[in-house]
Amino acid sequence: MTLENAQQQVNTWITTVGVRYFNELTNLGILMEEVGELSRIMVRTYGEQSFKESDKGKELADEMADILWVLICLANQTGVNLTDAFQKNMEKKNKRDFNRHLHNKKIQ
């Protein structure tokens, strides 16, 4: 699946099953909630916190997919083509950070 396909699939789902998009600020709030849920799983899996009973059944991949879903909603609502945006972002990183990390003693 491409990013373009994902944007189309989300739009189709939203406009049929979901009735309509939540407004952009609501979706921004939902995005922050989803990032928090991902953070909770990450700190319990890779950090020092232990899992709670309420954490059972939560999966890392599903939390990441929830974030992607809401991000795609926001992209659709604001007219952002994620394929183009990602390609431009990669070009920026390749130009700006060409050898930045190669000489970073903190990560070697």
CATH number for the domain spanning 14: value is 1.10.287.1080
Question: Rounded to two decimals, what is the model's pTM?
Answer: 0.89
Integer Cα distance of 22 and 30 in angstroms: 10
Q: How far apart are the first and last CA of the chain?
A: 35
Does the pLDDT of residue 99 top 90, yes or no?
no
Instruction: Categorize the per-residue pLDDT at 72 as very low, low, confident or very high, splitting at 50, 70 and 90.
Output: very high
Q: Is residue 94 part of a domain?
A: no
pLDDT at 5 over 90: yes
Residue 23 lies in a domain: yes
Query: Whole domain around residue 36: which residue ranges?
Result: 3-82
Among the listed residues 2, 5, 6, the one whose alpha carbon sits nearest the alpha carbon of residue 68: 6
Q: How far apart are CA 64 and CA 78, in angstroms?
A: 21
Q: Tell me if 107 is assigned to some domain.
A: no
Separation CA 52–CA 29 (nearest Å): 24
Tell me the average pLDDT across 67-79: 98
Specify if 104 maps to a domain. Answer: no
Rg for the chain, CA atoms, rounded: 18
Q: What total number of domains does the chain contain?
A: 1
Determine the Cα–Cα distance for residues 28 and 61; give it in Å rounded to an integer.
Answer: 20
Is 44 within a domain? yes
pLDDT for res 104:
86
